[in-house]
C-alpha cells in the first residue's frame, strides 16, 4: 500500500504541476488544490498507464478518497 | 511501445509543466473556440501544449455541450464577445450521422447528407462573419456496425454515410477560404489506442480515446500554427545512420546501407524518399554532419541514393558542434532557427541541439530506421497552408502524364506492354560499389539461376579482378521506378570458349526480356576477349525448373557433357547474329536513371 502511494506521488506532482506536492490516503478531489474534473481525466489515465490497470465504469465513482483508490489498484494488481 | 513524437503516457505526465514553461516563451496569442457535442476542455489543454511548442499561447472558449448550431447562428452574443480567430467544430459521427433504415435508397442518403451539410454551412457562414477560420474534422464512421460490411457500400450504411459526408465537407472547404478540414483519417492511421472509447464517453462525454484526443489536438495545432505563419521550413539532416546505414568515413560509399537489397537498406531508402517528397513540396533540405565534406558528399554518389547533393539548400559536413552549424545554415538561408527541424539518430547530438537551440524542433528519432519517416511526419512540422505555385506546375505535369497513361491502359499484346514500360538498363563488368549486392544476389537467387553456384564476397571480389573472367551485372529501371541490380553473369575463358559458370536473375524482373539484353552484352564481351563460342551450363535443382529451356530459347544447341556437371549448351560466335533485345534501352554506366 505504501509502495503504491509512493508511486502515485510523482504522478500527482506531474499532472497537477506541483513539484512539492505530497498526497495522502485521506486526500480527495475536495482536499487537493487543482484536482478538478479536467485534471481527474489525466490522473486516471496516467494511473492506468503507470500500474497497467483499467478502472471499470462505476469503480471510480464509488471511491471516497485516495486510500480507496490505492486499495482498488492493489486488488486489481493481485487479483 | 513504439518510440514516438507523441508518446501519450509521457506527455500526459509532462503536459502541465510544459504548458507553464511554454507560456512564458510565447510570442503570439490566438483565440480558439471549441464548439460541438462533446466535452472539449481536455482537447483545449492538449492544444495549449502543441501550439505552445510553436510559440503560440491559446485563449480558449468552450461552447455549451451540443449547442454549436445555436451558439454560432442564433444565441451568438457570448461567442461574438470572445471574437474567435479560430473555431474548431468538434463534431463526430455521433453528431452528424443519423442512422438511416438499412434499406434506405441513394436518394435518402443524399437528402440526409444534404441536410447535415446545410446546417454546417450555416454555422460556417455565421462564424466566418465573426472573422473566424472554421476547422472541421473529417468524420470517422461510428464504432458499431450493425450492418456488417454492408455499411461500406449500401446507402443505409453508416460508413458510406461518413464517406459521402467527408466528400461534401471537402467541397465546402474548397469553396471557402475560411473553412478548413482536419484530416481525421490521417490521425486515425497512427497511434496505439483505438479511436473510440465508449468508457470515456460514458464517463466524461468525450468520444475519442485519450491518445486519439491528443493526436487530434496535435493535428489541429499544426493547422492553427500554419494559419499564423508558424510552419517550419527547413529539414536539417544528419547523414550516417540517418540518411543511410553505416558510417561513410569508415565504410566508404561502397558499403553504406541504402537501396532495395536488405530490409535496413529499404528503410533508409524510404526515409530518403520521404525527405524528397518534402523537398518537392517546397521544404528546404540541409545536411549537418560530422564528417569530412568530400567524404560526406560521396555518399550521395551511391547509385541507390534517392537524394542528390543538388537537393540540399545547405551542406555542412565538418567537425564543428552541430548547434554552430545550424546557426550558420540559418544565416545562409536567411531563415529563423524557429523554422528548423533537426533530424539525427544520435541522442547526444539531439540533446545538444535541443539544449543550445530550444527553438529548433528535434524529434525523438529512436534508433530504428523504419520509424524515421513516421516520427518525423508525426511532428506535423511542415503543415502547408495552401497549395503552392510549384505544386500547381507539378499538377500540370501530372495531368499530361495522366493523359499519356490513360491511352496506354489497354495493350493489344505483350510486346506492346513491354514497350510501354520504357525500360532502361545499365549492363557492365562488376564494379566495387556493387560487389556486396552481387554476392547477396548470388547467394539468395534460386529460381532463375542456371547453376546455383554460391560464392562468398571475397570470391566475387577476386573474379572481378581476373582477366580470364567475364563478369556482367545488370540494373533495370522502368517507368514505375528502379528495380536495382537484378541480373548477374560470370563466364570463364577456357581455350576459345566462354564457359558461363553463373547466370542468374531476380524474379522481380521475370518476363521483361532482360535476359536478352544480358545475352547481347555477353556476346559482345565474348567477342572482345577473343572467344569463338559460348558454352552454357544448366545444373538442374529443385527450384530452377523455369530456366530448363533458357539456352535453347537463346539459340544454343545441346552438346554432350564432358566431365563438368550439368547439361551443356553451345553458341557459335562465328555466325553473325542480330541482337535479341528489343524493348530495353541499354545505357552506359553513369548515364542510367
Interface predicted TM-score (ipTM) of this complex, two decimals: 0.93
Of A11, A14, A49, the CB nearest to B17: A14
> Among residues 30-69 of chain B, which lie with CB inside 8 Å of chain A?
41-42, 45
Of A38, A50, A60, the CB nearest to B45: A38
Give B563 or B123, the one with higher predicted confidence: B123
Residues of B in contact with A60 (CB under 8 A): 203
- A27: domain range? 2-78
Of B13, B20, B42, the CB nearest to A15: B13
Counting residues of chain B whose pLDDT is more than 90, the rounded percentage is 75
DSSP 8-state assignment for residue B222: H
B481 touches chain A (CB under 8 A): no
pLDDT value of residue B108: 97
A11 vs B14: CB contact, 8 Å cut-off? no
pLDDT value of residue B2: 44
User: Which of B13, B18, B40 to substitute to test the interface with A, most A CBs within 10 Å?
Assistant: B13
B16 touches chain A (CB under 8 A): yes
pLDDT value of residue A2: 62
B17 vs A38: CB contact, 8 Å cut-off? no
Mean pLDDT of B292-312: 94
CATH code of the domain containing A37:
1.10.1200.10
pLDDT value of residue B68: 92
pLDDT value of residue A1: 54
Q: Give all strands of the β-sheet with B481-494 in edge-to-edge order.
A: B557-559, B567-572, B533-538, B497-505, B481-494, B469-478, B423-428, B584-587
State how far the Cα of A58 lies from the Cα of B394, in Å rounded to an integer.
Answer: 57
**How many domains, chain A?**
1
Are residues B219 and B378 in contact, defined by beta-carbon separation less than 8 angstroms?
no
pLDDT in tens, B311-328: 999 999 999 999 999 999
Counting residues of chain A whose pLDDT is more than 90, the rounded percentage is 82
pLDDT value of residue B71: 93
What is the nearest CA distance from B113 to chain A, expressed in angstroms? Answer: 34
A46 vs B199: CB contact, 8 Å cut-off? no
Question: In this predicted structure, which of B27-36, B268-277, B389-398 has the lowest mean pLDDT?
Answer: B389-398
Are residues B323 and B289 in contact, defined by beta-carbon separation less than 8 angstroms?
no
Mean pLDDT of B210-220: 96
Q: How many CB pairs under 8 A join A and B?
A: 39
Task: Grade residue B337 by pLDDT with cuts at 50, 70 and 90.
Answer: very high
Residues of A in contact with B14 (CB under 8 A): 14
pLDDT value of residue B397: 61
pLDDT in tens, B423-451: 999 999 999 989 988 998 898 888 999 99
Neighbours of B250 (CB within 10 A): 10
pLDDT in tens, B55-68: 999 999 999 988 99
Residues of B in contact with A15 (CB under 8 A): 12-13, 15-16
Neighbours of A21 (CB within 10 A): 18
pLDDT value of residue B480: 80
What is the nearest CA distance from A10 to chain B, expressed in angstroms? Answer: 9
Question: In this predicted structure, which of B24-38, B175-189, B385-399, B416-430 has the lowest mean pLDDT?
Answer: B385-399
Amino acid at each position: 500500500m505504501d509502495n503504491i502511494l509512493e508511486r502515485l506521488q510523482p504522478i500527482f506532482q506531474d499532472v497537477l504541476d506541483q513539484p512539492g506536492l505530497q498526497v495522502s490516503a485521506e486526500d480527495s478531489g475536495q482536499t487537493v488544490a487543482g484536482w478538478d474534473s479536467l485534471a481527474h481525466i489525466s490522473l486516471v489515465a496516467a494511473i492506468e498507464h503507470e500500474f497497467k490497470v483499467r478502472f471499470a465504469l462505476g469503480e471510480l465513482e464509488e471511491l471516497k478518497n485516495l486510500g480507496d483508490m490505492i486499495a482498488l489498484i492493489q486488488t486489481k494488481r493481485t487479483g | 511501445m513504439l518510440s514516438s513524437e507523441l508518446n501519450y503516457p509521457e506527455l500526459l505526465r509532462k503536459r502541465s509543466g510544459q504548458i507553464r514553461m511554454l507560456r512564458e516563451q510565447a510570442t503570439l496569442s490566438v483565440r480558439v473556440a471549441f464548439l460541438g457535442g462533446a466535452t472539449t476542455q481536455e482537447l483545449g489543454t492538449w492544444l495549449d501544449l502543441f501550439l505552445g511548442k510553436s510559440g503560440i499561447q491559446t485563449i480558449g472558449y468552450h461552447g455549451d455541450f451540443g449547442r454549436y448550431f445555436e451558439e454560432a447562428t442564433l444565441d451568438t452574443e457570448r461567442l461574438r464577445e470572445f471574437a474567435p480567430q479560430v473555431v474548431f467544430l468538434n463534431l463526430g459521427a455521433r453528431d452528424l450521422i443519423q442512422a438511416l433504415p438499412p434499406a434506405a435508397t441513394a436518394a435518402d442518403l443524399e437528402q440526409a447528407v444534404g441536410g447535415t451539410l446545410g446546417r454546417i454551412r450555416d454555422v460556417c457562414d455565421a462564424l466566418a462573419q465573426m472573422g473566424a477560420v472554421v476547422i472541421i474534422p473529417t468524420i470517422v464512421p461510428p464504432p458499431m456496425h450493425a450492418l456488417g460490411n454492408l455499411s461500406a457500400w449500401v446507402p443505409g450504411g453508416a460508413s458510406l454515410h461518413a464517406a459521402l459526408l467527408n466528400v461534401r465537407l471537402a467541397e465546402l472547404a474548397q469553396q471557402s477560404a475560411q473553412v478548413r478540414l482536419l484530416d481525421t483519417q490521417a490521425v486515425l492511421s497512427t497511434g496505439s489506442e483505438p479511436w473510440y472509447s465508449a468508457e470515456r464517453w460514458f464517463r466524461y462525454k468525450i468520444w475519442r480515446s485519450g491518445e486519439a484526443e491528443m493526436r487530434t489536438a496535435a493535428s489541429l495545432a499544426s493547422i492553427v500554427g500554419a494559419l499564423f505563419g508558424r510552419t517550419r521550413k527547413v529539414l536539417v539532416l544528419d547523414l550516417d545512420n540517418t540518411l543511410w546505414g553505416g558510417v561513410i568515413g569508415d565504410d566508404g560509399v561502397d558499403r553504406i546501407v541504402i537501396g532495395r537489397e536488405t530490409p535496413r537498406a529499404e528503410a533508409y531508402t524510404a526515409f530518403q524518399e520521404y525527405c524528397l517528397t518534402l523537398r518537392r513540396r517546397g521544404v528546404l533540405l540541409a545536411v549537418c554532419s560530422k564528417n569530412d565534406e568530400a567524404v560526406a558528399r560521396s555518399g550521395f554518389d551511391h547509385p541507390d541514393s534517392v537524394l542528390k547533393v543538388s537537393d540540399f539548400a545547405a551542406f555542412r559536413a565538418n567537425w564543428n558542434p552541430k548547434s554552430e552549424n545550424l546557426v550558420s545554415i540559418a544565416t545562409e538561408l536567411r531563415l529563423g532557427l524557429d523554422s528548423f527541424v533537426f533530424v539525427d539518430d544520435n541522442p547526444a547530438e539531439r540533446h545538444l541541439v535541443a539544449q543550445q537551440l530550444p527553438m529548433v524542433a528535434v524529434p525523438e528519432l529512436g534508433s530504428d530506421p523504419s520509424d524515421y519517416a513516421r516520427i518525423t511526419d508525426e511532428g506535423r512540422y511542415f503543415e502547408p497552408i495552401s497549395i503552392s505555385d510549384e505544386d500547381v506546375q507539378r499538377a500540370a505535369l501530372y495531368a499530361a502524364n495522366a493523359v499519356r497513361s490513360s491511352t496506354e491502359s489497354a495493350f493489344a499484346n505483350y510486346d506492346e506492354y513491354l514497350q510501354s514500360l520504357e525500360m532502361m538498363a545499365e549492363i557492365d563488368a562488376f564494379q566495387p560499389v556493387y560487389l556486396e549486392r552481387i554476392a547477396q544476389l548470388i547467394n539468395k537467387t534460386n529460381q532463375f539461376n542456371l547453376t546455383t553456384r554460391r560464392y562468398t564476397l571475397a570470391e566475387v571480389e577476386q573474379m572481378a579482378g581476373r582477366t580470364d573472367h567475364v563478369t556482367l551485372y545488370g540494373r533495370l529501371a522502368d517507368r514505375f521506378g528502379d528495380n536495382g541490380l537484378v541480373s548477374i553473369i560470370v563466364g570463364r575463358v577456357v581455350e576459345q570458349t566462354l564457359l558461363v559458370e553463373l547466370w542468374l536473375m531476380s524474379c522481380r524482373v521475370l518476363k521483361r526480356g532482360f535476359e536478352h539484353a544480358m545475352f547481347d552484352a555477353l556476346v559482345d564481351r565474348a567477342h572482345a576477349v577473343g572467344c569463338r563460342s559460348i558454352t552454357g551450363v544448366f545444373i538442374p535443382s529443385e527450384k530452377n525448373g523455369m530456366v530448363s529451356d533458357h539456352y535453347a530459347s537463346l539459340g544454343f544447341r545441346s552438346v554432350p557433357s564432358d566431365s563438368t556437371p550439368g547439361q551443356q549448351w553451345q553458341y557459335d560466335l562465328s555466325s553473325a547474329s542480330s541482337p535479341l533485345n528489343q524493348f530495353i534501352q541499354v545505357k552506359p554506366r553513369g548515364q542510367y536513371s
